[in-house]
Structure 1
């Protein structure tokens, strides 16, 4: 494997050299960086032209200028822009903004798209499958700029108006309850009697929850509470165990329930003292400690089958802890929403943060969330369609293979057949799509960044092209090209991990 990686990296270096040389030449001949100054009426126009010429080495032919630029790259210097700003600083700010915006959206789109695609494949030709197919093609065909503008109107302006009096009208409760019943009836499936029972239970539960939220004006001052949190923690323990190992693995179930119980016991200490004075570094320490402690519990109590128990324990611990963090964020929602900078309109439409807001770690986290919400939804809606369709088609192809029929004939449960045998092989073609998408994360979402006022990698690239500014354009190209090469290498290694028949060499 080491020799394979070394060969790929060497080949990738030559590819990057050729690609950057071609891109540099094309960018250099795309326009004249001095054109703006030549059309200027400034009295010192000649001095400004000479200064920019020296700054960007414009008196050197582009093929030779490339090697001057390449020498700077080896020193970690991307040069300066036409305005004399260090490109390293511009690149650092752009990467931070783009990663903040796009990473969460991409992860959620991958998880949600693959999950819905799998359920759609398992419920092939059902009402749920037809509904997901319709939504996928609908989202895939929508222009991202139009989705972004609609989200600003109805996801921000109208929602902010509604938050002034966050109640649900009775017709809205009835319609949403009916749709929720249809959704769960289609997802779970079964006989018509079973579907009818699921429909009634789901519709009544949804109606009861919406009525409670409306009467208590929950969205004005949201809170989970110890009772709901306890139910969620126990539900997480059962749900994670069912997916990870199956409920027949009693050891994994008991470990998951023990971790859920520990989360319930720590609820009040966390809310009242342990999470006060939080910083980003301390938050990361808590998150890592949660994974390590829960994994260690699974290891010591896992017995002979430690691997699945460790996985179940770690996932349960992360989700249980996540709801504690969510509850802490909710404690500061009312103060954030009613602050002088927000004035009761918390859903933001422009920018990455509220200027001059201040506040502690939790308030800053809420502010980041409200600014990320709409652009993240826009990216998820567009990406969701492709992941759903690819995962559905891939799983359907795998489920028709001979070894799957053999596994079913041996009497294995549906969960075991899907999770252990079908899902792993279905991920192989999806891995290619994910590798390209993750490699393109830092490339930025140009239109989304423009509509929502984010200055990320996409804006850096477009602004560099418009200003005929070669160094920011090349910085963008080097970063995205290197990531594309890297994640294609990672995809090859993941292939070998997913399918033992594939040999890396």
Structure 2
């Protein structure tokens, strides 16, 4: 394994050297960093031109300038990067400009990528298991439509209906009875299609989903939830129980009682800690402290799983840790929602769903205000990026799982009497995820490179806008700073994908 990694790192270094040489010289030859000064009418135009020529060493050939740049870039190996200055950013160091843009882009794409992977693969698995059903045909039709839509059109629709129209609804929230009925019908059809079964089971599923959605919307309307949203201890318990049952069913199956008990005990522990946590949250002023609490929540689940798991301690600890993380995450959401009314009073002109930028300028408040503000700005671009990726991952997961389900070893597993859950989760899915791992690895690298159109529409100053600015102004150093980040991430995620192959399929060895 170590030999393989070192060999790949050597190849990665060679690829980056060749690619950086080509990109630098093409950008230097095809751009004019003095174009803005040549058209200037300032009296000191020539002095400024001479100053920039000296500053950027434009009197030297591009090849010589590349090796000068490479000398500074090589210092990144000892964590002392010197990528030059970006004259298009008021002579700001390129490392600072790239760091700000990369953090903004990572903030944007992280949630979108996680949501797309989880939702897309889940829907793809469900459609594969319901092949040629009404649900399969409907999802296939919708995914083809969403995948073919231009991202700018999706973003514009989201701004109109996901922000402007929805903010108008939140200003005076009212859900009519016809809207409740229509929502219930849609939910009933979706759940009935997903769960399947005979006619009687479908009707029961449809009726249960319809009644649950109608009652939920009526409850939200009566309690004025949209004006003062909260999860509350009841919501935390319900979400935790649903996570305990769902994660256990996928991980080990509900027949494994010890694992299920470990997950349920974890939920009970968090329910008992709900009120003390509300007091403790007031003393968490920094994000790193909240991150530490997430780590503690995982350790709590692991500890409960090890105590309760019996012979299956590993599976119980893993399941309880996931359930503990989900339950604590819901508690954090609940705490963040408490600042919602005060947050709206501070930004009356913006509305609950923001459409421009990554933050509200000059907004003062504690960490919870910052989390709320970040969420309101992230929600629309996250949905825009997620929709297209979900459609793609759904198609990939469906086709990959259908191909694997016809393999001999899957039929052998069924013939041995294994449960359908075990056949799908432990045998079929691991091999089905191999091609998906490659796609996800490349997609993550590409997204961190900047979603240019999405960033432009939502005025999000990330890597995409950084790259466009560098090209437009002929700022070679800025373009190369972009290349360093995206190029390194692309090859690293490609290496990670190769390592995942051996983890997903024991027949694959890296040596």
TM score, norm. by length of structure 2: 0.96
Measured after TM superposition, the shift of residue 225 of structure 1 is: 2.5
Q: Does 1:281 align with 2:267?
A: no
Q: Does 1:466 align with 2:472?
A: yes
Q: Does 1:489 align with 2:495?
A: yes
After superposition, where does 1:134-213 map in structure 2 within 5 Å? 134-213=141-220
Q: Does 1:347 align with 2:365?
A: no
In structure 2, relative to structure 1, the CA distance for the partners of 1:487 and 1:344 (3 Å cut) is closer
Q: Does 1:77 align with 2:69?
A: no
Measured after TM superposition, the shift of residue 269 of structure 1 is: 1.4
Please give the root-mean-square deviation of Cα atoms over the aligned residues, in Å.
1.2
Cα distance between partner residues in 2 of 1:306 and 1:471:
53
Cα distance between partner residues in 2 of 1:204 and 1:493:
47
Aligned to 1:417: 423
Are the equivalent residues in 1 in contact too, given 2:381–2:454 (CA < 8 A)? yes
Aligned to 1:478: 484
Deviations 1:187-238 (A, max 9, x none): 0111111111111111111111111112222111012232333233222222
Of the structure 1 ranges 171-180 and 301-310, higher mean CA displacement relative to structure 2 is found in 301-310
Cα distance between partner residues in 1 of 2:56 and 2:159:
40
Are the equivalent residues in 2 in contact too, given 1:439–1:480 (CA < 8 A)? yes
Are the equivalent residues in 2 in contact too, given 1:338–1:344 (CA < 8 A)? no
Q: Does 1:385 align with 2:380?
A: no
Cα distance between partner residues in 1 of 2:236 and 2:320:
18
Are the equivalent residues in 2 in contact too, given 1:118–1:392 (CA < 8 A)? yes
Are the equivalent residues in 1 in contact too, given 2:230–2:338 (CA < 8 A)? yes
Measured after TM superposition, the shift of residue 2 of structure 1 is: 1.1
Aligned to 1:441: 447
State which of 432, 438, 452 in structure 1 corresponds to 2:458.
452
Measured after TM superposition, the shift of residue 109 of structure 1 is: 0.6
Deviations 1:8-27 (A, max 9, x none): 11111111111000001100
After superposition, where does 1:34-433 map in structure 2 within 5 Å? 34-75=34-75, 76-82=81-87, 83-271=90-278, 273-278=279-284, 279-339=286-346, 341-343=347-349, 345-433=351-439
Gaps of 5+ in 1: none
Measured after TM superposition, the shift of residue 343 of structure 1 is: 4.8
Are the equivalent residues in 2 in contact too, given 1:351–1:454 (CA < 8 A)? yes
Aligned to 1:10: 10
Are the equivalent residues in 2 in contact too, given 1:167–1:213 (CA < 8 A)? no
Q: Secondary structure at the match of 2:226?
A: helix
Q: Secondary structure at the match of 2:86?
A: coil
Q: Secondary structure at the match of 1:305?
A: helix
Gaps of 5+ in 2: 76-80
Q: Secondary structure at the match of 2:306?
A: helix
Measured after TM superposition, the shift of residue 88 of structure 1 is: 1.1
Cα distance between partner residues in 1 of 2:318 and 2:348:
41
How many residue pairs get aligned? The number is: 503
Cα distance between partner residues in 1 of 2:330 and 2:261:
20
Q: Secondary structure at the match of 1:286?
A: helix
Q: Secondary structure at the match of 2:31?
A: coil
Are the equivalent residues in 2 in contact too, given 1:349–1:371 (CA < 8 A)? yes
Cα distance between partner residues in 2 of 1:246 and 1:89:
49
Q: Secondary structure at the match of 1:160?
A: helix
Cα distance between partner residues in 2 of 1:38 and 1:320:
60
Cα distance between partner residues in 1 of 2:344 and 2:85:
41
TM score, norm. by length of structure 1: 0.98
Deviations 1:277-330 (A, max 9, x none): 322121011101111121122123322222211111101100111111111112
